[in-house]
Amino acid sequence: MVDKQKIDVKNIPVDVHVYRPDTPAKYASRDRIYVRAVKGLHQSLRRNMGFVFMALFFVLPWLQFDGHQAILLNIVEQKFTIFGLTLWPQDFTLLAWIFIIAAYALFFVTTFYGRVWCGYLCPQSVWTFIFMWFEEKIQGTRNQRMTLDQAPMSASKFWKKALTHFCWVAFALFTSLIFVGYFTPIAPLFWDFFTLQAGFWAVVSVLFFTVCTYGNAGWMREIMCTHICPYARFQSAMFDKDTYTVTYDERRGENRGPRSRKDQHYKEQGLGDCIDCNLCVHVCPTGIDIRNGLQYECINCGACIDACDDTMEKMGYPKGLISYTTEHTLQGKPAKVLRPKLIGYFLVLLVVCAAFVVNLTIRKPLELDIIRDRGALYRETPEGLIENTYTLSIINKSQQEKTFMLAVTGIDQLNWAGPQQVVLAGGESRNVVVSLSLDPFYAKKPVLDLTFSVTDSADPAVTMSQENKFFAGR
């Protein structure tokens, strides 16, 4: 017989004590970031790239192609013109492929070189740097702007602040007019807006984007990058130890401390190459200290690299204390450029690019949709024939005038009533009403199959067919 062991029973208190702070939590208000101007290789590259793509943004809607605006995304007419290509709602799969390509291109670049998109080409960053340029030219350097903000209001301060905000609003308005000009003819938009003849929605759209641009680039700035943009949150999923990011070489830089330029024995004092000048913090548009390690606020603009390289050059030290490098490189290990994640993103990018090209190639500059008469499936004519009525919706997706031939097959002895040739201008759509009649003697079944076809008279290879039904009524 097995002895039973007695288990002691303990009373466990069930009272829950909630400890509350004596005072409510206080959240620190946002400190304004005064960005210091810096020159260097990376900032020259960023400015030049921003200038090129901004010039494209401003110029493209003004270009003319074959007698029309080269790029016009007409939402009202649901017709999107891109040079020689006209897209309709039926072509939204192409737009989906473009977004997929852009996403995987961003993933590929981020895995290889970090958030360079944010630092060099993101519209939020580009417009923010432009607004900062206005600030610097009107209000002065970083220290002068800080002094100006701390000074009491005066005529000089009011004038500088007013001129700064006027330039911000003017540039935001110009930007908004250009942006809205992608969705409505841009030349009439400018004229009508400034002569107060523009339509309600055009004015609302321009003013809305003006306020958004002014608020984002003038006031919110780094808040968009650190709190609103989702890219900063999921970017770490694409990083690995071989991703090139802006990084501070802690082994070389620590311990930090000021010293004279002539002091060549600083290492004997336990100091590293970092002289703790804080210029890397002063030039950062998001206000972080890169020496604290990789942070999601970093947009990889390289401003801290240029500032640090300039300091190292003045001190007579080697450049590269802050640089684009990998974690493996800092650990003394070789960086692997070709790795499974990067290759995977590249292969997927090739596949989606190929899918886009295939879809664009097989796309026909013609669309056909058939709508039956909803009032009656069929009717009997005075001559004793059975008649079905159809509406053929034809869209000429090309930008040239086309002549289309209409035909029907599948049933013998059909009588056609309606136009069999339609001339459509480029981008025009038209509904063509067609009536088909049949002698009941030839109707072998109550429902017969037929096929409508629309063919380009100049190019028979461009044809569109669609099946439908003919109701014989017995």
Residue range 243-294, pLDDT digits in tens = 999 999 999 999 999 998 888 888 988 999 999 999 999 999 999 999 998 8
| 105-127: average pLDDT | 92
Indicate whether 317 and 401 sit together in one domain: no
Domain boundary among 330, 358, 385: 330
- Are residue 323 and residue 384 in the same domain, yes or no? no
Residue 317: phi and psi, rounded to 5, are: -100, 160
Q: 119-158 burial by CB neighbour count: b if 16+ within 10 A, else e? A: bbbbbbbbbbbbbbebbbebbeebeebeeeeeeeeeeeee
Q: What is the pLDDT of residues 144-170, one digit of tens each?
A: 999 999 999 999 999 999 999 999 999
Residue 396 to residue 403: CA distance in whole angstroms: 9
Position 345 in a domain: no
Do 325 and 373 fall within a single domain?
no
C-alpha 141 chain-centroid distance: 33
What whole-number percentage of the chain has pLDDT above 90?
A: 65
pLDDT, tens digit, for every residue of 170-203? 999 999 999 999 999 999 999 999 999 999 999 9
Q: Which residue has the higher pLDDT, 406 or 233?
A: 406
Confidence of residue 101 (pLDDT cuts 50, 70, 90): very high
Is residue 379 situated within a structural domain?
A: yes
For tokens 């664009």, what's the residue? 360
Q: b/e map of 420-459 (b: 16 or more CB within 10 Å)?
A: eebebebbebeebebebbbeeeebeeeebebebebbbeee
Residue pair 323/224 in contact (Cβ under 8 Å)? The answer is: no
* 322 lies in some domain: yes
Last residue of a domain, one of 279, 303, 330: 330
Q: How many CB atoms lie within 10 A of CB 295?
A: 12
Note down the domain range covering 300: 240-330
In a shared domain, residues 379 and 467: yes
Tell me whether residue 417 is in a domain. Answer: yes
474: pLDDT strictly greater than 70 = no
Among candidate residues 330, 346, 381, the one where a domain is terminated:
330
Number of domains the chain is built from: 2
Residues 312 and 398 in one domain: no
In a domain, 77, yes or no: no
In a domain, 266, yes or no: yes
Residues 6 or more apart whose CB falls under 8 angstroms from that of 353 comprise 101
Q: Quote the pLDDT of residue 10.
A: 59
Q: What is the pLDDT of residue 231?
A: 82
pLDDT computed for residue 17 by the predictor: 54
Residue 16 CA: distances (Å) to CA of 12, 30, 466: 12, 37, 72
Strands 64-65 and 429-438: what pairing? unpaired
Among all chains, which residue has been given the structure tokens 């003394």?
332
Measured CA angle at 454 (ends 451, 456), to 5 deg:
150
291 plus 382 within the same structural domain:
no
pLDDT reported for residue 399: 82
pLDDT in tens, 424-445: 988 888 999 999 999 988 888 8
CATH number at residue 431: 2.60.40.10
Position 370, amino acid? I
Percentage of the chain beyond pLDDT 70 is 93
Put the strands of the sheet holding 447-456 in their side by side order. 421-424, 402-409, 447-456, 463-471
Taking the complete model, does pTM exceed 0.85, yes or no? no
Q: Are residues 302 and 382 in the same domain?
A: no
pLDDT digits (tens, 9 = 90+) for 358-381: 998 888 888 899 988 777 888 899
Per-position DSSP letters for 97-111, written without gaps between them: HHHHHHHHHHHHHHH
Looking at residue 6, what is its pLDDT? 61
- Residue 52: φ, ψ to 5°: -65, -50
In a domain, 414, yes or no: yes
Residues 370 and 321 in one domain: no
User: Is 214 within a domain?
Assistant: no
